[in-house]
């Protein structure tokens, strides 16, 4: 009996491994191997045509010492992060609070707010390019009703990054709205009832119950949004191509340019690993800081 039981357990383990094997093979080929290859390639100079030439740390040295555009794109990425992450969190929370109310047709509202998330980023960029058109775009047409002069949203270095950030907030708020909605529905109703017995109003309940108990959700949304903001590429590539005058060029778009336009694969790999270190350190910092403001309800 003991041998049969062990045989059945081994069979279950083998069946489980068989199901995991395709995904594991895909992870090895399409994730782990490219990551290791990029790390090795960061110490070489390679133009995709000639054999790689060992360069040591020269790619990293050039990156930090002789490439002023690198610091420019890092500043652009930081600016994009500062504008989009807080905006996305606030917008997502507001939408979640609205669709969590007992309203007629709230499922329809949830669908409408979530629709930009599943819409192709290319389609989003094309539509917003048209809306930002300085001559006949809807944005300038609306602002003209209030006497605001024409704005060259995507061709003015002072407004281009702000315009892209607005699109990013609009397209990403729906996903985070769903996360906040799940967090809202997980808050025990008896806590609100206790607040009402103490005479608390809507604002007091929000700041005393809702906001503190949503801190775990806010922490997750913050971490994921920060990582995503440092990896922005598609909207920038489709809407401005990094212009005007590199005002919207971000670190990932700069990596793409070096790799697939200038064929500096080793230099692009070095830049990618610098980006990885930055994201890793910021994420680690957030996990260390969460103990100061995240509250878990038990």
Question: pLDDT per residue over 133-185, tens digit each?
Answer: 988 899 999 999 888 888 999 999 999 999 999 999 999 999 999 999 999 98
Mind listing the pLDDT tens digit for each residue in 49-69? Answer: 889 999 989 999 999 999 999
**Residue 43 forms part of a structural domain:** no
**Residue 14 forms part of a structural domain:** no
Q: Are strands 53-54 and 44-45 parallel, antiparallel or unpaired?
A: antiparallel
Mind listing the pLDDT tens digit for each residue in 68-77? Answer: 999 999 999 9
Number of domains in the chain: 1
At 133, list the tokens.
Answer: 């058109």
Specify the pTM. Answer: 0.90
Residue 265 in contact with residue 48, Cβ under 8 Å? Answer: yes
Residue 269 in contact with residue 185, Cβ under 8 Å? Answer: no
Q: What is the DSSP letter of 53?
A: E
Nearest to 235 by CA among 134, 158, 137, 165: 165
Percent of the chain whose predicted confidence (pLDDT) is above 90: 59
Q: Is 281 exposed, middle or buried (0-12, 13-18, 19+ CB in 10 A)?
A: exposed
Q: How far apart are CA 154 and CA 28, in angstroms?
A: 40
**Residue 265 forms part of a structural domain:** yes
Q: With both helix axes pointing from N to C terminus, report the angle between 106-118 and 160-185 in degrees, rounded to the nearest 10.
A: 130
**Residue 29 forms part of a structural domain:** no
Domain of 288 in residue numbering reads as 61-293
Q: How far apart are CA 85 and CA 89, in angstroms?
A: 6
**Residue 44, helix vs strand vs coil:** strand
Q: How far apart are CA 227 and CA 220, in angstroms?
A: 11
**Residue 36 forms part of a structural domain:** no
CA 68-72-74 angle, 5° bins: 115
Please report how many Cα atoms fall inside a 13 Å half-sphere around the Cα of residue 187, on the Cβ side: 24
pLDDT for 259 beyond 70:
yes
**Residue 80 forms part of a structural domain:** yes
Nearest to 165 by CA among 241, 255, 93, 232: 232
Mind listing the pLDDT tens digit for each residue in 91-109? Answer: 999 999 998 888 777 788 8
Instruction: For residue 172, give the CATH number of its domain.
Output: 1.10.3720.10
Q: Any idea how long the chain is?
A: 298
Q: How far apart are CA 145 and CA 194, in angstroms?
A: 48
**Residue 32 forms part of a structural domain:** no
**Residue 87 forms part of a structural domain:** yes
Q: Following DSSP, what letter does each residue of 128-152 receive, concatenated?
A: HHHHT-TTT-HHHHHHHTTTPPP--
pLDDT at 187: 86
pLDDT at 15: 84
Residue 140 in contact with residue 133, Cβ under 8 Å? Answer: yes
Q: How far apart are CA 257 and CA 284, in angstroms?
A: 29
pLDDT at 106: 79
């Amino acid at each position: 009996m003991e041998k049969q039981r062990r045989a059945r357990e081994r069979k279950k383990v083998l069946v489980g491994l068989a199901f995991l094997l395709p995904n594991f093979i895909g992870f090895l080929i399409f994730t782990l191997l490219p990551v290791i290859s990029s790390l090795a390639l960061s110490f070489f100079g390679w133009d995709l045509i000639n054999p790689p030439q060992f360069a040591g740390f020269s790619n990293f040295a050039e990156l930090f010492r002789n490439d002023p555009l690198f610091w420019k794109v890092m500043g652009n990425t930081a600016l994009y992060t500062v504008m989009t992450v807080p905006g996305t969190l606030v917008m997502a929370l507001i939408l979640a609070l609205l669709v969590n109310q007992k309203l007629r047709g709230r499922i329809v509202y949830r669908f409408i707010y979530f629709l930009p998330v599943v819409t192709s980023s290319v389609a989003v960029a094309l539509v917003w390019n048209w809306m930002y058109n300085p001559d006949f775009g809807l944005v300038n047409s609306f602002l003209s009703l209030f006497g605001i002069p024409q704005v060259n949203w995507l061709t003015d270095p002072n407004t281009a990054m702000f315009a892209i950030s607005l699109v990013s907030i609009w397209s990403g708020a729906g996903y985070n709205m769903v996360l906040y909605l799940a967090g809202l529905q997980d808050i025990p109703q008896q806590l609100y009832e206790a607040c009402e017995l103490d005479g608390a109003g809507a604002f007091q309940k929000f700041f005393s119950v809702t906001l503190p108990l949503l801190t775990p959700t806010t922490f997750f949304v913050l971490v994921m949004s920060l990582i995503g903001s440092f990896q922005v590429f598609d909207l920038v590539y489709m809407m401005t191509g990094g212009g005007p005058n590199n005002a919207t060029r971000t670190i990932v778009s700069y990596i793409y340019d070096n790799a697939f336009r200038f064929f500096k694969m080793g230099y692009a790999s070095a830049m990618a690993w610098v980006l990885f270190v930055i994201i890793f350190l910021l994420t680690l910092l957030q996990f260390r800081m969460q103990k100061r403001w995240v509250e878990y309800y038990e």
